[in-house]
Structure 1
């Protein structure tokens, strides 16, 4: 845990942190960081104690890592551990935080809207509810590449009209890359239609059709847990998935977290919002490089960073401190 209040850290004006969601996990993640920084193990112990699970063992061995109810708390904990290491090294506070899907909870922990203990309990439940909302094999997701957002929406409508179930836009990741989700048969129709139009469509290896209306039953159950959890407005502004806006009150924040389960992730708009606010540097606070690689497509972004190894953190720390005028 950070040794001093967030208010005592230097404030960045041109840097944002983004936190990844499911898909960034891999067995052995953060092993190098853990050998160098005791904060990593301490953070995993704190989260493990909250759930009664050995999250570090699962993360390192890979046993059960891809079960949604395990993946979500482990990724949240990994991102939180990296955030704490960043602060311990004298890193500046980002001007904004944002997280992709599950990553929104990591952002809220970093901004002290949620405690790590409460957040891992929430996302563990979130994973269970998502897994049970749709029977195995009845939901699917696919990435559609090379079509505009409008074309993808039309594709979803056409595929749904076939009558095999609903398919919807789930993640607006970048221009020309939209993930769709829905009933398995309907998603397959959309894949076939997209290929027939000459675009690329890739079925994703997921067990849960996230961010579509099939998740509404899970969202209703999850809302009760959200209401019973202490949540504050973040001390660092967090751009929320469903609106690409910063919540102005806790009620809106809670509602957005509920709706996030069945509404589209507005990541393209989120990253554009960051750029519109003068952000030139984006650091991905979590395992992997998915979000930092997507951000590289922005025309006016100066640099992106990943923070999942000691050397990458050191590079980002030095570059951001120089860019923000906080050379130590």
Structure 2
């Protein structure tokens, strides 16, 4: 059963926490089974890492990416096992777009685990530690942020990379240029502009070497037409052609995440309810800022999942 007004959204880096999904794993066998599948691909115990490791361990990009992918896919499988309605649309924020593609039937989970581990490793290697930075800018419109970045660049790279919601934009680039852009945003009237605790300037041109290195591996992987349409970060539209989806997933690494436009596209398509399929509630919060008519659900705990299944049943 598909609910025509329901969409699923999948979180990206930043939503990981030690101990996440412990309650869900006790209630739904799909959680442990999915983590076991991922562990066999990765060669280490992913569940043990996210329950008993350190926050520092799970914040390493090449670990964070397979971890969040696995958590999201596990929750989606649990959702379906509990009789949850299939969504009419999907989207994922940055890394979360890979979770969306797996749940939409575009590629096998094991292939996605391999690819996102490589994606994380290559993105981390693209810029040496300390040379890149990201910062969140609150309370400034998109154009003002873009202008501040243009003024601050001075021959280096700094750009708006995550359009998360109106008045919330993330910038990234080389460290010194980001520092200059933070000051420029404050001078332009931003309520806040603050560095983020991330290790690389994601979604900038500085990531193009990572994209170039990952492209042949994406090309060699089997992609199918999506069973559920996925709205892509790069252009906030759906795509049905597998080869075009491959190109978008390469481009996505060095292109801005147009999240506001993705959620607006869902609302325009008649979506009234969103389920955030993964740990945390970042995307549910952003959805309400983008369109206050959207009803957002989280399903990280058994109680939340059960309530959301009932609320979204037709």
Q: Could you say which TM-score interval applies, normalised by the shorter chain?
A: over 0.9
Of the candidates 225, 228, 242, which is equivalent to residue 250 of structure 1? Answer: 242
Instruction: Summarize the Cα distance change of 1:299–1:226 in structure 2 as closer, same or farther, 3 Å threshold.
Output: closer
Which secondary structure does the structure 1 equivalent of 2:24 belong to?
A: helix
CA distance in 1, matches of 2:284, 2:145: 24
Of the candidates 63, 78, 83, which is equivalent to residue 85 of structure 1? Answer: 78
Which secondary structure does the structure 1 equivalent of 2:18 belong to?
A: coil
Q: Which residue of 1 aligns with 2:14?
A: 23
Which secondary structure does the structure 1 equivalent of 2:134 belong to?
A: strand
Q: Which residue of 2 aligns with 1:315?
A: 307
**Contact 1:279–1:301, Cα closer than 8 Å, also in 2:** no
**Contact 1:280–1:300, Cα closer than 8 Å, also in 2:** no
Which secondary structure does the structure 2 equivalent of 1:297 belong to?
A: helix
Displacement after TM superposition at 1:302 (Å): 4.1
2:86 is aligned with 1:111: no
Displacement after TM superposition at 1:248 (Å): 2.8
**Contact 2:278–2:300, Cα closer than 8 Å, also in 1:** yes
CA distance in 1, matches of 2:280, 2:291: 22
2:31 is aligned with 1:46: no
Displacement after TM superposition at 1:198 (Å): 2.7
Of the candidates 168, 174, 178, which is equivalent to residue 187 of structure 1? Answer: 178
Displacement after TM superposition at 1:192 (Å): 1.0
Q: Which residue of 1 aligns with 2:272?
A: 280
2:209 is aligned with 1:217: yes
CA distance in 1, matches of 2:241, 2:252: 17
Displacement after TM superposition at 1:62 (Å): 3.1
2:253 is aligned with 1:235: no
Which secondary structure does the structure 1 equivalent of 2:163 belong to?
A: strand
CA distance in 2, matches of 1:300, 1:67: 34
TM-score normalized by the length of structure 2: 0.97
**Contact 1:26–1:62, Cα closer than 8 Å, also in 2:** no
CA distance in 1, matches of 2:61, 2:129: 13
**Contact 1:275–1:300, Cα closer than 8 Å, also in 2:** no
Deviation >3 Å, runs of 4+: none
Q: Which residue of 1 aligns with 2:51?
A: 60
1:207-256: CA deviation from partner (whole Å, max 9, x where unpaired)? 01100000000000010110111111110000111010111311210111
CA distance in 1, matches of 2:293, 2:237: 20
Q: Which residue of 2 aligns with 1:148?
A: 141
Q: Which residue of 2 aligns with 1:4?
A: none
Displacement after TM superposition at 1:61 (Å): 1.7
Q: Which residue of 1 aligns with 2:68?
A: 75
Which secondary structure does the structure 1 equivalent of 2:289 belong to?
A: coil
TM-score normalized by the length of structure 1: 0.93
Aligned residue pair count: 311
CA distance in 1, matches of 2:288, 2:161: 22
**Contact 1:28–1:62, Cα closer than 8 Å, also in 2:** no
Q: Which moved more, 1:236-245 or 1:290-299?
A: 290-299
**Contact 2:267–2:294, Cα closer than 8 Å, also in 1:** no
CA distance in 2, matches of 1:271, 1:144: 20
**Two-structure CA RMSD over aligned residues (Å):** 0.9
Q: Which residue of 2 aligns with 1:3?
A: none
**Contact 2:12–2:95, Cα closer than 8 Å, also in 1:** yes
CA distance in 1, matches of 2:170, 2:295: 25
